[in-house]
Amino acid sequence: MSTATEEKTASSSTSSPLLHKKRYRRLLVTAGLSIAAVSVFPLVIMTLINYHQYQEAFHKEMIRPISRLTTNAKRSLEFFLSERSSALTMVIREKSIEELRDQKKLNRLLENMKGSFGGFVDLGLIDSEGNQISYAGPYQLRGKNYSGQDWFHEVSLQGVHISDVFLGYRRFPHFVIAVKSETEPGDSYIIRATFDTDVINQKILDVESHPYDDAFIVNQNGILQTPSRFYGGVLEKLSIPVPPTSYRAKVIETQDARGNPLVIGYAYVASSPFVVMKLSRPGAMQAGWISLRQELVLFLIGSIILVLGVVLWGTRYMVNRIREVDIKRATIFHKMEYTNKMAAIGRLGAGVAHEINNPLSIISEKAGLLKDLLTMSDSTPPKEKLINLVDSVLKSVDRCSKITHRLLGFAKHMDIQHEKISLKILIQEVLSFLEKEASYRNLKVDMDIPQGLPTIESDRNQLQQVFLNLINNAFAAVADDEGTIKISVKETGDGRIETSIADNGTGISADNLDHIFEPFFTTKKGSGTGLGLSITYGIVEKLGGEIRVKSKVDAGTTFTVVLPIT
C-alpha cells in the first residue's frame, strides 16, 4: 500500500452558469475566428505567392526581349562597322597608290563597294600631310586638307578610326571610317569612307515592335547619333543620362524626366564611340499584368467571402448543436442530482423512521391514557392532568411535523435559489439526519465552527446535497466504534469560506484518486453508484466554488469545499 499523500483539486473556471448566452457567443466568435484564420490565411499566402510569381514572370518577359534585341542590334552594328573597316583595309592593301589616285578607277571602286556592301557615300585617298589627293563622291572635296582635324591624328596613331556622327561640309548626318596603310618608311596613306546614318536605322535599329518602344544610338557624351522616337533628332542631347560602360548588353530600370518608369537596354559597341540603346515604357507593356492582377484580387475577395460564409454557417450550426447537447446534459445531470438525493433519503430512511416512531409512541401512549381517564370513570378527570396529556400529544405531533417538513424540503427539486445561508446551521441540519446512524455505530462527530462566521449567498438545497454526500462518504469509510469525523469551517480571507470534512477511514489509493470525480466510478464494491462525488463536483462548480481532496491510504481522507461568500 502507498503511504504517500495525494491531493486532487477541482476548480470552477467561471462563475457563469453552463448555459449562459455569453458563453455560446464567445464560443461562436472564438471558433469562427479560429476556423476563418486557418482557412483564409493559406488562401492569402497562396495568392501572394502567385501574385509574386506572376509579377516576376511578367517582369522577366519584359526584360528578356529588350536584352535580346539590344544584343542583336549591338552585334549587327559591330558586324557592319567591322565589315566595312575590313573592306577599306583590303582596298588600301591590295590596290596600289597609282590605282587609287586614278579618278576613274576610284569612282568604279566606290560603285562596286556600294553594290557589294551598301552604305557608302563617298571614298577618298589622303596622304600623310592630310591632303585629299583623290576623291570619289557627290561633293568637290579633292584637295581638301584634314591635318587639323582630330580624326586625322587618331587614325595616324591607331591605324583605324570610326568617327561620331557629324554634319561637316555635307550638312547631313554622317560618320567616317578611315584606315591607314604604310607604303614606304616614313610615308603613309589613309583611305577614308563616309556613311549615311540612314543605313543604320534601316538595317540595325528597326526593332521597335510596339509603339511605346524606342531604339537609337548615342555617343558616349550623350549626343544622339540616330533619331529617337521620344528624345529628339540626330545630334541633339539625350535627356536621360548615358549608362555606365558595358560591352555586354545590360538592362536597367529607371525613370524619365517626368517620373515615368523606363526599362533601358544598352551596350557599348567595341572600337567605336557608339552606344546602342533600346527603351521601353513598362506601363503600357503591363496591361496584361494589370488585368491578371485584378483577377487575382477578385478571386481572393470572392474566395474569402465564400469561406467566411461557410465558416459562419458551420460555426453557428456547431455551436447550436453544442448548446442543444449542453441543455440535454444539464437536464440529465439535474435528474441525476435529484435521483441521487432520493437515494440518499432512502439510505436515511431508517433514522427518519426511528425519529418519527418515538413521537408516535408518545402520542399513542398519551392518547390511550386520555381515553382510559375518560371511559373508566364517571367523574370528569382533573383538568390539569388532561391539559398535560394534550400538550404532550401536541408536542409529539409538532416534532413529527418538523421531521417530515425537513425531509420534504430536502427532497424537493433543486432549482437554484440564492439566499443567505449559515453554514453552521446547514451542516447541523444535515447531521440531524445521521444522528441515529452515528449513535448506533458509535461514531464520533466533531464540529469546529467558530462564532461570527459570515453567512454566504448560495443555494440551500444544493449545499445540503453536497454536504450530505461528503458526510455519507465519510461515514462509509470509517469503522464502527473507531470512526471519527471532523467537520471544520473557516474564512480564507479572500472572500471565500472553506469547509473541511475529514475522516480516519481507509483512505483512497493514488490510482483511484485520479478518477473519484468521474461519473460511475466507485470504490464501494457492490453498493455504490459512482454518482455521488461526480454530482458533488458539478454542484460545487456550478455554485462558483472548488472542491479538493487529500487522502492517505489507511490514514483517512479530507474533502475541502471552498465557496464564495457572495
Regarding whether 217 and 169 lie in a shared domain, the answer is no
Contact 430, 501 (CB under 8 A): no
355: helix, strand or coil:
helix
Q: Do 196 and 215 have their domain in common?
A: no
Which residue carries 390511550 as its cell?
368
CB 504 within 8 A of CB 556: yes
Same domain, 110 and 196: yes
Pair (241, 280) in one structural domain: yes
Q: Is the same domain home to 101 and 154?
A: yes
Q: How confident is the model at residue 200 (pLDDT cuts 50, 70, 90)?
A: confident
- Is 161 in the same domain as 225? no
On whether residue 421 sits in a domain, the answer given is no
The predicted pLDDT at position 2 comes to: 41
Closest CA to 528 of 470, 466, 476: 476
Which of 235, 254, 285 represents a domain boundary (last residue)?
A: 285
Taking the C-alpha atoms of residue 240 and residue 257, their distance in angstroms, rounded to an integer, is 7
Closest CA to 276 of 65, 70, 76: 70
What per-residue string of b and e applies to 498-532 under the rule 16 or more CB within 10 Å gives b? bbbbbbbbbbbeeeebeebbeeeebeeeeeeeebb
- Give rounded-to-5 percent helix, strand, coil for the chain: 50, 20, 30
- Grid cell, residue 420, equals 443567505
pLDDT digits (tens, 9 = 90+) for 428-456: 888 877 777 788 888 888 888 888 888 88
Shared domain for 385 and 406, answered yes or no, is yes
User: Is 230 part of any domain?
Assistant: yes
Within a domain: 251: yes
Say if residue 397's pLDDT is above 60: yes
Domain co-membership, 196 together with 174: yes
Question: For residue 234, is it within any domain?
Answer: yes
Kindly state the cell numbers that stand for 506: 481507509
CATH number at residue 405: 1.10.287
For residue 336, is it within any domain? no
Most confident range (mean pLDDT) of 384-388, 395-399, 471-475 is 471-475
Does 168 share its domain with 136?
Answer: yes
Domain boundary among 237, 259, 285: 285
Give me the numbers of helices (H) and strands (E) for the chain, helices first please: 13, 17
- What digits encode the pLDDT tens for the residues 59-109? 787 788 889 889 999 998 999 999 999 999 999 988 888 999 999 999 999
Phi, psi (deg, nearest 5) at residue 343: -65, -40
For residue range 158-172, list pLDDT tens digits in order.
999 999 998 877 678
Residue 103 resides in a domain: yes
Q: Looking at the structure, do residues 175 and 229 belong to the same domain, yes or no?
A: no
pLDDT digits (tens, 9 = 90+) for 219-258: 999 999 998 888 889 999 998 999 999 999 999 988 877 7
CA distance 123 to 192: 6
What distance in Å separates the CA atoms of residue 343 and residue 465, rounded to the nearest whole number? 11
Chain segment 502-512, per-residue pLDDT in tens: 998 888 887 77
- What's the pTM? 0.51
- Cα Rg, the chain, nearest whole Å: 57
Last residue of a domain, one of 168, 200, 232: 200
Supply the mean pLDDT for the chain: 81
Residue 549 lies in a domain: no
- Extended strands (E) in 168-226: 174-184, 187-196, 213-219
DSSP summary character for residue 145: B
> Does some domain include residue 383?
yes
Domain match, 174 and 222 both: no
* CA 535 to chain centroid: 41
Domain count, the chain: 3
Q: Report pLDDT for 287.
A: 65
DSSP secondary structure letter of residue 171: T
> Which residues are within 8 A (CB) of 25 and not within 5 positions of it... i.e. 6 or more apart?
none
Q: Name the residue among 473, 446, 443 with its Cα closest to residue 547.
A: 473
What distance in Å separates the CA atoms of residue 34 and residue 118, rounded to the nearest whole number? 76
Please report, for the domain that includes residue 274, its CATH number: 3.30.450.20
Q: Band of the pLDDT at 207, cuts 50, 70, 90?
A: low
Q: Among 69, 78, 343, 400, which residue's Cα sits nearest to residue 206? A: 69
Range(s) of the domain holding residue 360: 348-412
Whether residues 171 and 252 share a domain: the answer is: no
Residues 162, 141: Cα–Cα separation, whole Å: 20
544/566 Cα distance (integer angstroms): 9
